[in-house]
Amino acid sequence: MLRLSGLSKTYADGTEALRDISLQVGKGDILALVGGSGCGKTTLLRLIAGLDIPSSGAITVNGETIKGPHPSIGIVFQEPRLLPWLTVAGNVGFGLADLPPQERQVRILHALEKVGLAGYDQRWPRELSGGQQQRVAIARAFVTEPKVLLLDEPFSALDAFTRASLHDHLLLLWAETKPTVVMVTHDVEEAITLADRVVVMRPRPGRMMETISVTLDRPRDRLALGFDKAKRRILHALDRSLQPEKAAPTQKGADNASHWW
């Protein structure tokens, strides 16, 4: 279980990025973070990853306090960040150096098959499309079997068709070991497609405003009535998150939701 307790972050220049974030994400749960610019979504992911230090509060994974990068936590960034001097297999297996060669090879090939890149193990990153490179990054993150996986908008630069395909590949890998997943996205439909819960954050400083459960069965049909209802609820919450806190809630909802990012 991932637990955030009273997490806050203020930078040296006085900018308060996050205030009093308390959250629990169970084993195998997928949590999506959405919110307007300045709500600290990426800062929160960096704190969980151990790439930055909170000003106050604590982060624990299965009771162990996270104070820096940890082998039980994996992350996929917006860009694939592949090593150009390694083959696809070398990139996927980069974190498996301690395993026997045969087991390492089995894991690499299995992960590549799950992301639709069987037979690509000896290719170089420069020979792949952007979508294929991101598949390699996803396979690299899952192959180490992390307890917690962080996704920092890894599909944002891809076209809609490629993005939908990667959602399917991601869920196939996730279903095998069921890591806890925390993802940042600006795409509400992506959040509903993947997540069990969606946390809507309020900006400046970043705070949790509302948590919305998504109880639809997987795979999720974007044309289903339940999907549309979840989307409307999240868009309403996003619209409210950008209003002055003392102002009365708007009733315009989705009409204003296009401005939330």
Asked whether the predicted pLDDT for residue 254 surpasses 70, the reply is no
Mean pLDDT in the chain?
Answer: 90
Q: Domain residue spans in the chain?
A: 25-54+64-72+148-259, 83-145
Please tell me the pTM assigned to this model.
0.88
Quote the pLDDT of residue 248: 45
Measure the CA–CA gap between 93 and 135, rounded to whole angstroms: 14
Each residue's pLDDT tens digit, 230-248: 999 999 999 999 888 765 4
pLDDT-based confidence at residue 261 (cuts at 50, 70, 90): low
Quote the pLDDT of residue 246: 67
Each residue's pLDDT tens digit, 163-174: 888 898 899 899
The CATH homologous superfamily to which domain 25-54+64-72+148-259 belongs is P-loop containing nucleotide triphosphate hydrolases (3.40.50.300)
Residues 6+ positions from 212 with CB-CB distance below 8 Å:
197, 198, 199, 200, 230, 233, 234, 237
Percentage of the chain exceeding pLDDT 70: 94
Measure the CA–CA gap between 214 and 231, rounded to whole angstroms: 10
